[in-house]
Amino acid sequence: MVELVNIQKNDEFISTEYIPEDSGEKGYIKMDLKGNVLESKQTSFDEIIADYFCHARRTLRKLLQVDDVPKKKLVMWY
């Protein structure tokens, strides 16, 4: 599970902070509107399991297609 918070989208980019399950530690992803990652800061949890960053990035790419993006989004997988 990963929580995306402070999701922001404008005419140039989309960005979010993400918090891996039960960590309290925040990572960051910023990408252009084509889905290319411009900036990122991974958490220490991503060094062990890269799923958190990957799921956050994938969800952010899906949100590129949404006009009214939410401020927060919870992503769960099994």
Q: Which of 10-19, 29-38, 45-54 has the lowest mean pLDDT?
A: 45-54
Using the predicted structure, report yes or no on whether residue 22 has a pLDDT greater than 90: no
Number of domains in the chain: 1
Q: Over the chain, what is the mean pLDDT? A: 95
**Residues 6+ away with beta carbon under 8 Å from 31:** 13, 14, 15, 37, 38, 57, 60, 61, 64
Report residue 26 CA to chain centroid gap. Answer: 10
Give the C-alpha separation, 2 to 62, whole Å.
15
Q: Is the pTM of this model over 0.85?
A: yes
- The pLDDT of residue 50 is 81
The one-letter amino acid code at 74 reads L
Q: Which residue range forms the structural domain that includes residue 10?
A: 2-75
14 touches 64 (CB < 8 A)? yes
